[in-house]
Structure 1
Amino acid sequence: MDRNQLDGLLALKLVAEKRNFTAAAKELGVSPPAISKMIKQLEQRLGTTLLTRTARSTSPTEAGEAFLSQAAPALEHILTAMKEVGSLGGKPTGKLRLNVPTMIYPNYLKKIIASFTKKYPDVSVEVCLENAATDIFARGFDAGIRVSDILAKDLVAIKLFGPIRFVVVGSPKYLDKMGRPKHPKELLSHNCIRVGVGERIYGNWEFESRGKALRVEVKGSLIMNDSILALDAAIDGTGLLYITEDAVSDKLNSGKLEVVLNQFAPTSSGYYLYFPQRSQVHPKLRVFIEHLKSFPIE
């Protein structure tokens, strides 16, 4: 396909959507006569009329509707790419949608986002707190944060911090009453606080024993979809909780919680910001990545 054909296709799509040559011309950055010429050339190549033009309105013909029904999805991708590339040198604006684990926000991301929105006031940041591993890009998110172990290979991943350890913690009150487990299998006789909702409840706690992975499907009387509230429940003595060590370091130092099964604690390389390769062209995401890299980790 040569450039003239592509221009004609884009011109046809825009005129059909906007029902107006002037509006379509403005979208493509050309004059209305130029739009008209593009479409006429396309009609000549196809040997059929694609638009019905009157003094009051413009609309696709039956042939035009049939053609656009098949070509529109591909054309939409082309227009989106043109807008994104065209905005690379512009000022970052719009909404940046992030999907992150609950405990990441207060312990790591809160200060970063506060400084980012101050530096880039034209970018609003929407933060969705969620622990489950789902296809966040199908739901319209620009980027997410997860541990390295669950990231797909076709994504771009930038390390934020790590390595991190996953530990089982409980309050001294609970452990004094129920005992301190010596092996992960002993968790089956403990009240374990699970995090999640519906089919996404995380009840398979992972451990390492002599270099081999070990999983225990725990049970308990409390399931919560909020890690922070689950942590509060563990501090109150409700049961044991599986969580990253960095998220509870202050509670461990203060004596509100203590680690059990420490010798079985597994390690991950760390937390990563991840996004599709194509998303790097978005100015709002590009400057957020730059800001993350320049922000000191405490």
Structure 2
Amino acid sequence: MQTNRTDIADLIYFLAIARHRSFSRAAIELGVSASALSHALKGLENRLGVRLLNRTTKSVTLTAAGDALATSIGQPFEAIDNAVETLNRFRDAPAGRIRINVAVEAATLLVAPVLPTFVERFPGVELDIVANNRMVDVTEGGFDAGIRYGGTVPEDMIAQRLSADIRWVVAGAPGYVDRFGAPIHPNDLLHHRCVSNRLGDDRIYRWEFERAGEKLSITVPSSIIVDHAETGLVAVLGGAGLMYFPEPLVAPYVNEGRLRIVLSDWAPCEPGFHIYYSGRRQVPTGLRLLIELVRELRPLGL
């Protein structure tokens, strides 16, 4: 079969679906509708004379033929992407689209503060930021990079630090602390109302403490469980209980007197945010510029 320009576009569509194992997620990456992807893939399969995907209402998987095709064409298309990216060196201003998967706290505290400067300096670069605390494979997900706390960065990725280490604190509204008292020791939390954090792998986080070399990990009683610290923050501001936070998230409210830190002598410092990406491909210009800007402006120190 002779390949034409339509087939090239359809092959790009196919690779995106193969990465995501989902028409809807591939459609978001490519900026087209899921129905358009489905139509294109049916046409490609008809022209090739083989089924590439097994599709059900709940899943999309590759057939043996689809797996072979994805393996064969993945590297050439990656090389084409790299070649096009090198053209940024010849432009008066950089252009392109960058997709990053970011921990929610990093989106709020690290990325958002630099965005006004980024769009002013680099108006031709489009940033697509997906804030999600679930760990994802950024390569399979079609992302250029991810941002996570340093201790959770995948080992097979290239990582760069974007912030100083972060202190973790327990905080509550003054009204709550006045009513129920401030815990003196982490074990006192067993008698408090606590807002717990669900991790990206669905585990409920055990609050960690450290003082003078002594380390403790406490399973607190949960009156509320949240996926995002920002959700719990609103509840805690209203007096719902105590919660374990990255200190930069609550610092403005502490300064305003709307929150009070307790157990401050037990607050540990943990690795700050890191950006990570695959070493198998060239770093896109837009991603490099974002990294440089965060390191220049240092919204969380460095």
The answer to which of 71-80 and 115-124 deviates more is 71-80
Matches of 1:61 and 1:165 in 2, distance apart?
Answer: 58
Name the SS of the counterpart of 1:161 in structure 2.
Answer: coil
Q: Deviations over 1:259-290 (max 9, x none)?
A: 11112211113221222223543222222223
> TM-score by structure 1 length?
0.71
Matches within 5 A, 1:16-165: 16=3, 18=5, 70=68, 73-90=71-88, 91=91, 92-165=94-167
Matches of 1:219 and 1:103 in 2, distance apart?
Answer: 23
Cα distance, 1:150–1:212 mapped onto 2, change above 3 Å: farther
Q: Deviations over 1:71-97 (max 9, x none)?
A: 652333123223313421325433322
The answer to which of 215-224 and 163-172 deviates more is 215-224
Q: Tell me the CA shift for residue 69 of structure 1.
A: 7.3
Indicate if the aligned counterparts of 1:143 and 1:273 stay in contact, CA closer than 8 A: yes
Count matched residues.
246
Cα distance, 1:186–1:93 mapped onto 2, change above 3 Å: same
Q: 1:272 corresponds to which residue?
A: 274
Structure 1 counterpart of 2:109, one-letter code? N
Name the SS of the counterpart of 2:223 in structure 1.
Answer: coil
Cα distance, 1:107–1:199 mapped onto 2, change above 3 Å: closer
Q: 1:175 corresponds to which residue?
A: 177
Q: Deviations over 1:146-196 (max 9, x none)?
A: 221112222222212212100111111111111211222221221111234
Matches of 1:155 and 1:141 in 2, distance apart?
Answer: 13
Higher Cα Rg: structure 1 or 2?
A: 1
Within the alignment, does 1:217 sit opposite 2:225 as a pair? no
Name the SS of the counterpart of 1:281 in structure 2.
Answer: coil
Matches of 2:128 and 2:260 in 1, distance apart?
Answer: 34
Q: Deviations over 1:42-83 (max 9, x none)?
A: xxxxxxxxxxxxxxxxx7699xxx999746523331232233
Cα distance, 1:177–1:137 mapped onto 2, change above 3 Å: farther
Within the alignment, does 1:248 sit opposite 2:250 as a pair? yes
Cα distance, 1:279–1:80 mapped onto 2, change above 3 Å: closer
Structure 1 gaps of 5+ residues are: 1-11, 22-58
1:200 to 196, 199, 202: 202
Cα distance, 1:125–1:167 mapped onto 2, change above 3 Å: same
Matches of 1:20 and 1:209 in 2, distance apart?
Answer: 62
Q: 1:230 corresponds to which residue?
A: 232
Matches of 1:163 and 1:79 in 2, distance apart?
Answer: 38
Matches of 2:266 and 2:109 in 1, distance apart?
Answer: 24
Q: Tell me the CA shift for residue 205 of structure 1.
A: 1.2
Matches of 2:167 and 2:233 in 1, distance apart?
Answer: 16
Structure 2 gaps of 5+ residues are: 9-46, 51-63
Matches of 2:255 and 2:6 in 1, distance apart?
Answer: 66
